[in-house]
Amino acid sequence: MHPKNTGEDALPDLKAIAGREIEAILISHAHQDHIGTLPVVMRRFPRARVFMTEATAEVGSVLLHNSVNVMTRQREEIGEMSYPLFTHRETDKASERWRWCALRQRVSIAGERAPQREKDALTFEFFEAGHVLGSAGILVRAEGQTVFYSGDVNFDDQTIMQAAIFPEENIDVLIMECTRGDHAKAAGWTRPGEEQRFAEALVNAFDRGACVLVPVFALGKTQEVLAMLYKFRRQSRMFSEEFPIYIGGLSSKFTDIYDRRAQMARRQLPRLQLIREVAPFILNDETVRDAPLRPGRVYALSSGMMIPKTLSNVFARRLIENPRHSIFFVGYASPQSPAGLLREAGTGGEVALDPDKPPQRVRCNIEQFQFSAHATREALIEYAKKISPRKIVLVHGDPPAVEWMRATLSAELPDSEVIVPEPGVEMEL
C-alpha cells in the first residue's frame, strides 16, 4: 500500500497481471508498503497460495486489522468513500489461508517441502533479512535457474535484530532494494557510536527541560528504540532517574509480539521483555492531544514518516514552535513526507505538517541519527559483487537512490546486466 496515497491510488497497479492465473504470492515482511493491500490481491486472485514466515503472519494480521480501523476513520475524516478497501472479516478469512514457512527450507508452490535433488522444480526458500521481525529474502529456483529477491534487508546488527544471512553463490538474477542508495555511509559510523551520540543528545535535551519526540515506525523502529532506551536507563552515570517513555497503541501490540517471540527469533538481547522492563506508557488518538509536554520524557510515536493524523504528526504540531523541545529523527523518511519536509526545513524554517492546517515556524531543536533498518548502499554493492549475478534488477528506492545504485553497479560489475524496471511492463528474466 502506498504510504502517502489514499483510496484506489494507494493500491498497486494490478492491471498488468489482470486475467492471469496467479499461483503463489510470496511475502517478504509485514510493513504496510509490502503487505498493506494483501486482502485485495487475494480477493482478485482467489486461487493463489500465500506464503510468509510465521512471525510475519502474526505481525501482518495485527497490521491489517489496524489498517481497517484507519481506513474506516478516514472515510469519515477525508470523505474517501472507497474505504475501507477490505474489512475485519475479510482480513480474518485471508489470514486463515496464509501458509507459514520456516527459514532455510525449500518449499514447492503447492506448499510442500521440496526435495533438494529436484533441480528443475519450481521452489522457493526464505532467508533471514535482518530488517524487522519475520523479514526474509526469497530465493526462487526453477528450470535450473535462481532468482533472489532481497526484500528489505540489513547487513548490520541492530539493537535487537541481527544482520541478514543471505545466500552467496549461484544466483542468476538478483532483485535488490535501493532505499539508502542516495546516502553514503558516514565516515567512522558505528552503531555503538551512534547509540552513544543519541544518549548524549537525550541528556542535553533533558538538561534544558525538553521533552523529545522520536518519530518511529510502529513495527521495527519502535522496538529498536525501546531497546536502546532500556540500555540508556541502565547507564545510571548518564541518567539520574528512569525517564518516562510513551508509545502508541499499535506499537504496543507489535512490541508484545516481539516479546513473545524473543526466545524464538535470532536476535540480540533475547531475554529482554520490552513491555515489562521498559514499561512504556500507551497513548492513543485522543490522549496524544492532551498529553502534557513535560520535560525529561521521550515520546517514541508512529508514524516514522509523520503522515497526517498519525500520533507523531499530531504531537509534532504541538511542539515544533517551542524552542525548548526536540525532535530526534532516527531513520528513513521519504523526502515528500511530512517528516522529510520537516527535516529539510530545519530549525528556523516553515513547514505544513498537515495540509489541512496552516504552516508553522520550526523553532524546536531538530537532530538526526542513523539507525536505519535498511542496508547501507555500500553493503548492497558489496553483496552484489560477492554473488556477481548475470542480471540485477533494482527496486524499492527513490529515483536518485536507484540511479546511484545503477551507475555504481554498472561500473563495478561490467559483466552483469543492471536493470531499472518500468512499472507495469513485463520483463523477461
- Could you report the per-residue pLDDT of 408-420, keeping only the tens digit for each? 999 999 999 999 9
Q: Exposed, middle or buried, 121 (CB in 10 Å: 0-12/13-18/19+)? A: middle
Contact between residue 394 and residue 180 where contact means Cβ atoms under 8 Å apart: no
Predicted pLDDT at 42: 96
Cell of 148: 533472489
- Of 389, 384, 394, the residue nearest 416 (C-alpha): 389
- φ and ψ at 8, to 5 degrees? -60, -25
Predicted pLDDT at 416: 97
Cell of 257: 509480539
d(CA 257, CA 37): 22
List per-residue pLDDT tens for the chain, 429 residues long.
987 788 889 999 898 898 899 999 999 999 999 999 999 999 999 999 999 999 999 999 999 999 999 999 888 888 888 999 999 999 999 999 999 999 999 999 888 888 877 777 899 999 999 999 999 999 999 998 999 999 999 999 999 999 999 999 889 999 999 999 999 998 999 999 999 999 999 999 999 999 999 999 999 999 999 999 999 988 767 777 789 999 999 999 999 999 999 988 899 999 999 999 999 999 998 999 999 899 999 999 998 999 998 999 999 999 999 999 999 999 888 888 999 999 999 899 999 999 889 999 999 999 999 999 999 999 999 999 999 999 999 999 999 999 999 999 999 999 999 999 998 888 988
At 49, which amino acid appears? R
Contact between residue 58 and residue 7 where contact means Cβ atoms under 8 Å apart: no
Structurally, at CATH architecture level, domain 191-368 sits in 3-Layer(aba) Sandwich (3.40)
Cell of 350: 516553515
From start to end of 249-332, where are the E strands?
281-283, 298-301, 326-329
What residues contact 317, with CB distance under 8 A and at least 6 apart? Answer: 353, 354, 357, 360
- Of 304, 206, 197, 166, the residue nearest 247 (C-alpha): 304
| Residue 425, CB-side half-sphere exposure with 13 Å CA sphere | 6
Contact between residue 99 and residue 109 where contact means Cβ atoms under 8 Å apart: no
Predicted pLDDT at 348: 93
User: Is 50 in a helix, a strand, or coil?
Assistant: strand
Predicted pLDDT at 236: 65
- Could you report the per-residue pLDDT of 246-255, keeping only the tens digit for each? 999 999 999 9
Cell numbers 530545519 correspond to what residue? 346
Please tell me if the domain spanning 7-182+374-419 has the same topology as the one spanning 191-368.
Answer: no
- Highest CATH level, class, for 7-182+374-419: alpha beta
d(CA 359, CA 406): 37
Predicted pLDDT at 332: 81
Contact between residue 130 and residue 137 where contact means Cβ atoms under 8 Å apart: no
Q: Exposed, middle or buried, 248 (CB in 10 Å: 0-12/13-18/19+)? A: buried
Distances (CA, A) of 406 to 155, 409, 411: 20, 5, 9
User: Is 39 in a helix, a strand, or coil?
Assistant: helix
Domain ranges, ordered by start, for the chain: 7-182+374-419, 191-368
